Structures are given as C-alpha cells and as structure tokens.
Amino acid sequence: MKNVFFFSVSLLLCFSSLSVNAQQTKWTKLFDGKTLQGWKQLGGSAKYSVENGVIAGATVASTPNSFLVTEKEYGDFILELEVLIPDTVTNSGIQIRSHFDPAANDGKGRVFGYQYELDASARAWTAGIYDEGRRGWLYPLDLNHEAQKAYKRGKFNKVKVECIGNTIKTWINGVPASYLVDDADASGFIALQVHSIGNKPEDAGKKIQWKNIRIQTGDLSPAPFPSTVFVVNNEHNTLTAFEKRNGWKLLFDGVSSNGWRGAKIMSFPEKGWKIADGNITVLSSKGQESANGGDIVTTDLYSAFDFSFEFRLSFGGNSGVKYFVTLSENNVGSALGLEYQVLDDKNHPDAKMGIAGNRTLSSLYDLIPAKKTDRFVKPIGEWNKGRIIVYPNNHVEHYLNGVKVLEYERGSQAFRELVAGSKFKNRPNFGEGKEGRLLLQDHGDEVSFRSLKIRVLK
C-alpha cells in the first residue's frame, strides 16, 4: 500500500511538472538577450545594438524611420515586451503584422502596417494603434482616457498586444488600451521602430530600449476587456459580440430604413434619400435645405448616450448630425437641435461664417468651434468617423476620427451664454431638453452615412 501511495504521489508530481512546463513553453523568446539573431534592419539607418541584455536603438539625423524587423512573420499571437523611452520628445512604435514595400520611396523601400504607438509626450497616446506608411491613425488614445494615465515616464513600461483573427487589442502596464477590428492584414513581421528626427543633429544619439520580448502563437484565448472600452470596428454596419454584450445597438442595418422616419412625416421619405451599398445617402437638391426629402430622425428618443457614425462628404457638401431634437418648434427648413456640423470646410461658405470657426466640421454648430488639425480630417470622398458622447451629468464631447475636438456642459451658465450670442438666442431652453431624437440633416448636398451605432449611458 505504501508503495502504491508513493507511486501515486510521484505520478501526480510528474503530471504537475509537465503541466507547468507546458504552460511555460507557450512563450517563445524573440530576443536572446545577447545578440540580434532573428532580426534584420529595414528603412533608415538608426543604430541598433545589444547593451546589458537590452536592444538599444539610437537616433540618427537625416534618415527616415528605421525598423529592426523579425525575420519570421506572425499571424495570430500574443506579444509581450518592456520598453524604455529616455525623454518626452522621442517617439517610437512596435510594428505588428507589418510588411515592406521595396519599390516605395524611389526604391529605398517603406515599412507599412499596424503599429503599437510609443508616445512619451504630453499627448499620452502610448498603446494607441497607428497604420504606418498607409492610413494613419486607427485608434488614437483619446478614445481611452484611463489608458492615457498608465504610461510611466523614464521607466520600463510593459507592453502587451493581442492579435487574434481580425481583432487587435493592446495594453500598457496591464491597463487595457485599444480595441480595433480591422482586416487589412492577417499576418506580417514584428518590428521595433526608431522614429526619424529629421535634420536635427542635436537630437541624435537618444536611445530607446527594449527587453524581455516574447510571443505566444498557439492555444490563444482572448483576454477580457472592460465593457467601457470603445471599439473601433471597421467592419461596416456590424457589431462585435463584445459590443452587443455591452449594450451597443445599430441604428442602421445597411439595407433598410428601420428605426428612422422623416422629421416632419411619420414615415421614411419617399424621395431625397437613397439606401444602397451599405450607405444611407441624402441626395443633392443643389443646396436647398430640406427641399427634397427633408431631415430624417430616429424613431426612438435618447437622453444620455454614446453615438458613433461615419460620413462621406461630396465636394462642397453640407449636412449635420443633430441631437436632442424635440420637433416641438415647427421650424421652417431643418429641425432644431444641438448639431455636430458635417461640412466641407474648404469649399463651403458656411465654414467662414459664425464666430471663430464655430460652423466648421465637427463643431457644435454656431456655438463652439472644433479644435482640430488637417492631419485628422479625411479628404472629400473618403470616410470620416464622428462620435458624440452625452454623459448622464450632461457633459458632452465631440470626436473626429478618434480625436476629441470639443467638450462642454449642456445647460451650464457658460452654455447658456453661448446660446444667447448665437442664432438660437430666441429659442427658449435651446438644447436643454431631457431627451430627444437624433437627426441626419438634408441640407441640399449629397452626404452619405454608415456604421451608425449607439449605446445608452446610465
């Protein structure tokens, strides 16, 4: 009996040891701590070396972005590493599922693909997702204010990236950051970037350090994310299972007018609007406001909410997304409400009207100008992403392509003073209704919308 007991214990210990070893062997080191074996350099001529068990990348003047690239490519994986940026000026990134185009840049080549941003500046976008050499920002970290607080200046920071299927999630120091659904690349190399410093020899020699680089490629399970994290979902007119679980609903299914009606009629307009190719489009009537199909509004009312939408302007186009629309004013032309301006700033005269730009794209129309740069505005004919958040405490935020462009307190004294100086000054309690409809405006120009989704906030 004693021998049987010892055999059983030994067998159990053996299985436990095998189980622990199996868990440990899930990780593969991408850096041996001594050499750059398994890596190669592409792009610019920054200096990469191994110093005291870390990879160091040193900036060099007058060279483009440099990349230390894995010789292998990876599809689905979980990547972990630690990184130290020496100051608040140097910028870097970690490429994932990326590629190299040798013909680009007049034959000098270009790295392109998803990038985990490393940003030590006051902007604090570390763990955001950028599309290097291609589309630009996909997930600016303005979309996750909590994650912006997680980066530690002057210290090694823990990076985690999860790529499973068409979903990319990021963490910084254990804090969930970005959640992107996108199908541009299913696999590619991993790379460590030393960003170009241009022709600034005074910035040369600054070193970025990486260590403890490891990867899992098998038996992957998605890690949980907080329900409050916003998903940038580039599968149009769809919701992920994560979004559905956390209260998001589509306001446009891509094929029908369900959930919408005319602002001045109880049904959807028979003319002036077109639903095709996954888009809902207000047609041109040569700039005549509400002269064709008229505005459309949601059949449901909303109070506190997070509303996300995409829009595509025609040349010189003008429209708007309004909220807290009550339809009680019987206004001639467009129905009244707080308005996220949708406008071709460069080619429509409204952009030069109002006060200090408060009628430009993504502004709170005629009240608060949007603070934005051309870099974060997509050209006419391309899709832009808008977002409006109204919190239960009446704090309101506007976003354009993931960047917060304004915020205000609905119903505050400052808000009322703005209304008093606007075209709405003679409208009692303008914009202060307890609830209202969302509205897509017919301003007489062709503008398309898609991927309309909302979550009620409580």
**Six token digits for residue 231:** 């998903």
Region 248-456: CATH code: 2.60.120.560
Look at residue 290 in the predicted model and tell me its pLDDT: 66
CB-count burial class (<10 Å; 0-12, 13-18, 19+) for 244: exposed
Biggest distance spanned by C-alpha atoms of the chain: 95
How, if at all, do strands 318-325 and 305-313 pair? unpaired
Per-residue confidence (pLDDT) for residue 307, from 0 to 100: 98
| Three-class secondary structure of residue 380 per DSSP | coil
Task: Provide the 3-class DSSP secondary structure of residue 34.
Answer: coil
| Full-model pTM | 0.91
- pLDDT block averages, 10 residues each, the chain of length 458: 44 43 71 96 93 93 92 98 91 96 89 96 96 96 97 96 98 98 97 90 85 96 96 98 98 97 95 97 83 91 98 97 91 89 96 96 98 95 98 98 98 97 95 97 96 97
What letter does residue 368 receive in the DSSP assignment? B
For residue 324, give both structure tokens.
């807290």
Q: What is the distance between the alpha carbons of residues 335 and 328, in angstroms, rounded to a whole number?
A: 9
Q: Which residues of 210-221 are buried (b: 16+ CB within 10 A; e: fewer)?
A: bbbbebbbeeee
- The conformational region for residue 227 under phi > 0 = left, psi -120 to 50 = alpha, else beta, is alpha
β-pairing, 175-181 vs 232-233, is: parallel
Every domain range in the chain assigned CATH 2.60.120.560? 28-216, 248-456
Instruction: Indicate the residue type of 59.
Output: T
Radius of gyration of the chain (CA): 26
28-216: CATH topology: Jelly Rolls (2.60.120)
Residue 387 confidence (pLDDT): 98
Q: For residue 119, give both structure tokens.
A: 């940003």
